[in-house]
Amino acid sequence: MTMIDGQMVATQIKQQIAKQVNELAELGVTPGLAVIMVGNDAASEIYVKNKQQVATDLGIEANTIKMPADTTELAIIKKIQILNADPAVDAILVQSPMPTHINEQNIQAAIDPSKDVDGFHPYNLGQLVTDANEYYPVANTPRGIMRLLKWYDVKTTGKLALVIGRSILVGKPMAAMLTNADATVITANSQTKNLDELIAIADIVVVAMGKANAIDAQKMKAGATLIDVGINRLADGTLVGDVANKNNTNLAFATPVPGGVGPMTIATLMETTVELAQQHVAHGND
């Protein structure tokens, strides 16, 4: 069994991004990423700081806009409208989770689809489902997973892929990408019965439940590939994924936690930011 090295692939992607940033610099363009953070979620603070640092390292102009936890939906939407109109901003990210009084659907729908770096806007989701020919941004976690599958030459055509979870962040766009890549796709959720039966027949299993060690890798079939999206902190401080018992399996490939999907998500976020900047150059809005 090969453990997938997300850190290594992410590093390769970041080298590619640095080149593209240089090419844009020759045109006098600096890709701009705006991150909106509402409230003081401790995990979000770390994620946002990390995004800011990686962006800066790559030559992307990143700005984090912090708003207090009691900010109204309207105030966030007004801030987004200002960023939509700002030619220095190519990409807008709203850090999840928002405080509970905020309807995240309304927030995502307020972002200009051409600056929607997470691909959560309905228009971009629809483009993904349609498998449109023109450029559109997609969610960065499933995008990163598709990159890992490609890097390790895991075939998708005609394969049975099981996606456990149906969030807009991971499960739903993941299922759409795998369908577009000619896989037969099962979307499971918290109501699913006989999950073990599905796990036992799938060639590719993507687990995005957010529940420590909820799935047993030993139940997967020989030669299958496991993608573990979860990242959960146990009481003793250890970070674990959603899947237990990855070692000593007959799997072909599996992602570790940490060091699997996580590093890819931040790399593809930067990649999408640069692509949006390239699109803005191509369409003359930058």
Catalytic annotation on 150? Answer: no
Among 16, 122, 196, 233, binds its own copies (CB under 8 A): 122
Residue 18 contacts residue 67 (beta carbons within 8 Å): no
Indicate whether 167 belongs to the interface with its own copies (CB under 8 A): no
Annotated catalytic residue 118? yes
- Residue of 95, 108, 278, 279 marked active site: 95
Residue with token string 């700002």: 86
176 binds its own copies (CB under 8 A): yes
Close Cβ partners of 25 (under 8 Å, ≥ 6 residues apart):
59
Among residues 188, 199, 261, 276, which is the contact residue for its own copies, using CB under 8 A? 188
Longest dimension (CA), the chain: 56
Of the candidates 181, 188, 199, which has an alpha carbon nearest to the alpha carbon of residue 166?
A: 188
Q: Are 153 and 195 contacting, i.e. CB atoms less than 8 angstroms apart?
A: no
Q: Find the shortest distance in angstroms from Cβ 171 to its own copies.
A: 9
The CA distance from 190 to 69, in Å, is: 30
Q: Strands (DSSP E) along 165-242, which ranges?
A: 184-188, 204-207, 215-216, 225-228, 232-233, 239-240
Contact 42, 71 (CB under 8 A): no
**Binding test (CB under 8 A) with its own copies, winner from 50, 105, 247, 250:** 105
> Is 4 within any annotated ligand binding site?
no
The window from 51-59, 181-189, 208-216, 271-279 that contacts its own copies (CB under 8 A) reads 181-189
Contact status: 140 vs its own copies (CB under 8 A): no
Distance of closest approach, residue 146 Cβ to its own copies, in angstroms: 17
Is 96 marked within a binding site?
no
Which of residues 186, 217, 266, 269 is near its own copies by CB under 8 A?
186
Whether 231 has a binding-site annotation, put simply, is: yes
Q: Which member of 198, 239, 240, 244 binds its own copies (CB under 8 A)?
A: 198
Closest CA to 249 of 224, 283, 275, 277: 224
Q: Label the pairing between strands 204-207 and 239-240.
A: unpaired
For its own copies, give the closer residue by CB, 86 or 182. Answer: 182
Residues forming the annotated binding site? 165-167, 231
**Positions in the binding site for its own copies (CB under 8 A):** 105, 121-127, 129-130, 132-133, 157-158, 160, 166, 168, 172, 175-176, 179, 182-189, 191-194, 197-198, 201
Catalytic (active-site) positions:
51, 95, 118
